Amino acid sequence: MSYIPVSRRTIRRHRESERSTRRLVVALASAAVVAWLLSVTLSPLLNLDGFVHNIDLVVHDLCLVVAFGAIILVDWHGFLWLIRRRGLGEIIRLDGAATPLIWGGLAGLLATGAFLSPHLENPMTDVKLAAVLVLSLNGIMLIPLMRRLARLPEDTAFTGLSLGQRVHLLACLVVSQVCWWTAIIIGFINAES
């Protein structure tokens, strides 16, 4: 067993930080579920026609490009870190820069999607909506791990993480990509019908 000298004050700050992160995750997950429920529940009541509908569709697609584009960039750099072509510090900085784009785009998707008259009786639409909820919660569940990674040295390699951290990162990556691609493909299929 190794001994790492840490003051009681440092231990207390770390515990408080962990507790505040848990509270943040619960609050954000609750807000995401409420926003998703509002979007889905209000969508049958909100109908736009003609030019305004077309503008809403364009804004919806722009929000998709912003959010998914930022996700692809972060995931690509994460892959480059995995194969030792990037440092952890660079990934953390990129994630911090991309986070407002991801969440802003996702919020825009929920807001504009409510006005697109989704066919809620269509099982494919239900799958798409479930994918959007799962990808939102998946992103929120990454917050505690990203905060822990931000405290590591900038040159930490992927192999330097614990097995649990590596599995957590890879599982979140797979869930994110599956949910995004599912929602995008179903959205375009539904738009054609």
User: pLDDT tens across 98-145, in order?
Assistant: 999 999 999 999 999 999 888 889 999 999 999 999 999 999 999 999
**3 confidence band (pLDDT: 50, 70, 90):** very low
105 within domain boundaries: yes
User: Which of the pair, 31 or 3, is modelled with greater confidence?
Assistant: 31
82 within domain boundaries: yes
34 within domain boundaries: no
Which structural domain range is residue 116 located in? 70-193
- Picking from 150, 141, 145, 144, the residue whose alpha carbon sits closest to that of residue 175 is 141
63 within domain boundaries: no
How far is Cα of residue 74 from the mean position of the Cα atoms in its chain? 11
Instruction: With beta carbons less than 8 A apart as the criterion, state whether 21 and 147 touch.
Output: yes
Summarize pLDDT for 28-87 with one digit per residue, the tens: 999 999 999 999 999 988 888 889 989 999 999 999 999 999 999 999 999 999 999 999
At 121, phi and psi to the nearest 5? -80, -10
83 within domain boundaries: yes
1 within domain boundaries: no
Please count the structural domains in the chain. 1
pLDDT of residue 185: 95
**1 confidence band (pLDDT: 50, 70, 90):** very low
**Predicted model pTM:** 0.87
Residue 20 corresponds to which amino acid? S
100 within domain boundaries: yes
pLDDT of residue 123: 94
User: Which of the pair, 16 or 26, is modelled with greater confidence?
Assistant: 26
101 within domain boundaries: yes
pLDDT at 10 exceeding the cut of 80: no
Length of the chain: 193
